[in-house]
Amino acid sequence: MATSKDEMSQNLTFRKFKDGDYKWSRLVEQIFEQDHSYKCPTYVHRTPPCQGSCPSGEDIRGYLDIVRGVEKPPEGVSMQEYAFRRSTDANPFPAMMGRVCPAPCQDGCNRNNVEDFVGINAVEQYIGDTAHREGFRFDNSAPLSGKKVAIVGGGPAGMAAAYQLRRFGHASTIIDSHPELGGMMRYGIPGYRTPREVLDHEIQRILDMGGIDVRHNTRVGNDVSIEELEKDYDAIVWALGCQSGRALSVPNSDAPNCVSGVAFLEAFNKGTMKVLSADRIVCVGGGDTSIDVVSVARRLGKVKNKEDAELPEKVIGGYVAHDSAFAAAREGAEVTLTSLFPKSEMTAAEHEVHDALREGVRILDGVMPVEVLLGEDGRARALKMAECTIENGRPIPKEGTEFEIECDLIVSAIGQSGDLSGLEELDNGRGLIDADKFYGVPNRPGHFVAGDIIRPHLLTTAIGQASIAAESVDHFLKHEDIPKRPKVDVHHFDLVKKMQESGLMLEPYSHEEVRGTAMAQFAVHNFEDRSKAEIITTERMFLGHFEYTPRRVREEIGPDAEAVLGHFQERLIGFSDDEAVAEATRCMSCGMCFECDNCVIYCPQYAVYRVKKDQSTTGRYVDTHYDRCIGCHICADVCPTGYIYMALGDH
């Protein structure tokens, strides 16, 4: 019988174990009969699943261990700044990602097998907000190489590429068609989710590194040609994004008051649309963009006595703009969101769906659009819908279930595509640009690509691709072969660098033939780094070590249906220092020692011991007397993080 949710939240000894995992193993057999294997502890570093699930490849375990105080910063560096450095090694937008990333890292978190995931997003927002408040800056000490890269697009991928290239020592010019940088973070996501002051700061912090120029209001393929870029720059990174929305594939979807979610949100974010001159709005979608559309629509409200010039499609199309006095007369609008899938299966984040319902959005799930119904003026007057089933990934309408939703504006938020007008030679036939495994453009040396223009996905995906593309550009500019990417392709913790940072320098290797390295100082003894090949699972961990500890949830200002009109304040309230430390402490440090002392305490032979303090650092907290070890593997059994692995044997 399944354990109820109430029991899980009240019984502090609850653990999720597989059926049959109830027998107590006999330690006598382990201690006195297992020593024939000659196997002794090896300290093995593996990648945690939170990091393996992060498209940016952030060292999440690393910055959580820093915040909680396990990994110590260098002398003169605060915990907050050190966590900022570790976080931004992969992603230069911690404050933005901590707010809007749907957090696949939290889905992958091993703590889900104890009670609930670690609030990684909340801690990342804390790191980003603290960096903003304290004025932390990026390292720009790498000397400029004299090479210059053109980056087409100033969104998350383009900005991340400029950041990583500057760290390699390469200058760049960001060319963007908008008056301001930020891409989808500015023009696709409402300001109450990505506060503009915070976004501007994180963008400016990248530009402050130097060696990064910006050309605004410039469209490549129109204002400047590919040939000109090839002539003036040593390499090109295409980070155009996808800023064209897909229309509904039903009859009459080209009616003037049928618009895309991308165009709707851009009109709002530019400030031209301050209110809706439409009483009833229907948005077709189910993903994050559609949630943003309906949430904005509820906040904007509607106006009465609208003139023809103020029709919503004319504002969204950029022909007219609202003024503040016009917006002051608004009332609540009737907003409906339709989805092919049930609410529980919508691709939008679960809490965003709940917020939309609380704010007064009506959600119709398990339905599909069939036809746009037109009025005498040629504009859409209703959207004909039908209940549907999903077969082989395609929606199939149920006969006899058709119904109509009367509306003045239909917003399609069913996907995006790139706009490659003027750049047709790069188009792969689907409005996108192809990429190889190193994020180079096939058959175009010196051309690289990152972000949604490859395939629309998450902001963090675009940032991760930009990081790899920047590495590839670096190798190209140095005329080097691009090395094979690791199986687990993330920003890895490096024990040797950590030891050097802590002043624990390895001695030069004499290349003399020696037997054993247990006492040698030229090697990192009994340590193996498998992080580039393996992600650690709970099967290697001792979950019984971890007490039930409820997740700390960020406070959220969530207006209800009555208060949502005109509510554009930020919803999330970040953690305090104490809250961030407490939540980071829930991290199980999967695949890396977090200095719990279990192995030292439970070793029956006193073979495992703490390294002297002046020789200790993260990953080198304990060592083994191999003349005492009998191979009982109790230390590995009680290691919560799975860092100890029985090896060094003969089979």
- pLDDT single digits (tens) 562-599: 999 988 999 899 999 999 999 999 999 999 999 999 99
Q: Domain extents for the chain? A: 27-46+494-530+591-651, 51-136+548-583, 148-243+418-477, 245-417
DSSP class of residue 432 equals S
pLDDT in tens, 40-59: 899 999 999 999 999 999 99
What pLDDT band is residue 407 in, cutting at 50, 70 and 90?
Answer: very high
What pLDDT band is residue 274 in, cutting at 50, 70 and 90?
Answer: confident
What pLDDT band is residue 376 in, cutting at 50, 70 and 90?
Answer: very high
What's the confidence (pLDDT) of residue 513? 75
How far is Cα 207 from Cα 198, in angstroms, rounded to an integer? 15
How far is Cα 147 from Cα 234, in angstroms, rounded to an integer? 6
- Residues 370, 384 contacting (CB under 8 angstroms): yes
How far is Cα 105 from Cα 47, in angstroms, rounded to an integer? 12
Q: Is the pLDDT of residue 325 over 50?
A: no
How far is Cα 386 from Cα 162, in angstroms, rounded to an integer? 47
How far is Cα 412 from Cα 569, in angstroms, rounded to an integer? 26
How far is Cα 150 from Cα 157, in angstroms, rounded to an integer? 13
User: Is the model more confident about 550 or about 310?
Assistant: 550
What's the confidence (pLDDT) of residue 651? 37
What's the confidence (pLDDT) of residue 14? 46
How far is Cα 498 from Cα 504, in angstroms, rounded to an integer? 9
What's the confidence (pLDDT) of residue 160? 98
Report CA-CA distances (Å) from 383 to 284, 310, 313, 333, 558.
Answer: 10, 22, 16, 17, 30
How far is Cα 311 from Cα 308, in angstroms, rounded to an integer? 6
- Triad 345, 464, 424: Cα angle to 5°: 90
pLDDT in tens, 87-119: 999 999 999 999 999 999 999 999 999 999 999
How far is Cα 388 from Cα 402, in angstroms, rounded to an integer? 10
What pLDDT band is residue 322 in, cutting at 50, 70 and 90?
Answer: low
Report CA-CA distances (Å) from 429 to 181, 262, 276, 418, 434.
Answer: 28, 21, 36, 11, 10
- Triad 82, 85, 90: Cα angle to 5°: 145
Residue 624 sits at φ, ψ, to 5 deg, of: -130, 135
- Triad 427, 432, 435: Cα angle to 5°: 95
Residue of 212, 156, 250 whose CA lies nearest to 463? 156
Q: Is the pLDDT of residue 320 over 60?
A: no
pLDDT in tens, 57-73: 999 999 999 999 999 99
What's the confidence (pLDDT) of residue 3? 41
DSSP class of residue 410 equals E
Q: Is the pLDDT of residue 1 over 50?
A: no
Token output for 433 = 């640009």
Neighbours of 36 (CB within 10 A): 10
What pLDDT band is residue 601 in, cutting at 50, 70 and 90?
Answer: very high
How far is Cα 119 from Cα 102, in angstroms, rounded to an integer? 12
Residue of 533, 549, 592, 636 whose CA lies nearest to 111? 549
- Percentage of the chain beyond pLDDT 70 is 88
User: Is the model more confident about 549 or about 6?
Assistant: 549
Architecture of domain 148-243+418-477: 3-Layer(bba) Sandwich (3.50)
Map residue 625 onto helix, strand or coil: coil
Strand partners, 417: 244
What's the confidence (pLDDT) of residue 5? 47
What pLDDT band is residue 333 in, cutting at 50, 70 and 90?
Answer: confident
Token output for 419 = 């706009």
pLDDT in tens, 476-512: 999 999 999 999 999 999 998 999 888 887 778 777 7
- The CATH H-level (homologous superfamily) assignment of domain 245-417 is FAD/NAD(P)-binding domain (3.50.50.60)
CA pseudo-torsion sign 59, 60, 66, 72:
negative
Fold match between 148-243+418-477 and 245-417? yes
- How would you classify the pairing of strands 212-215 and 171-175? parallel
How far is Cα 452 from Cα 244, in angstroms, rounded to an integer? 11
Mean pLDDT, the chain, whole residue set: 89
What's the confidence (pLDDT) of residue 515? 67
Which helix (H) or strand (E) element contains residue 535?
Answer: none
Task: Note if the pTM is more than 0.75.
Answer: yes
What's the confidence (pLDDT) of residue 327? 52
Q: Is the pLDDT of residue 2 over 50?
A: no
Mean pLDDT computed over 620-632: 88
DSSP state letters, 600-649: HHH-TTS-EEEPPGGG--TT-SEEE-TTT-----HHHHT-TTS-EEEESS
What's the confidence (pLDDT) of residue 650? 45
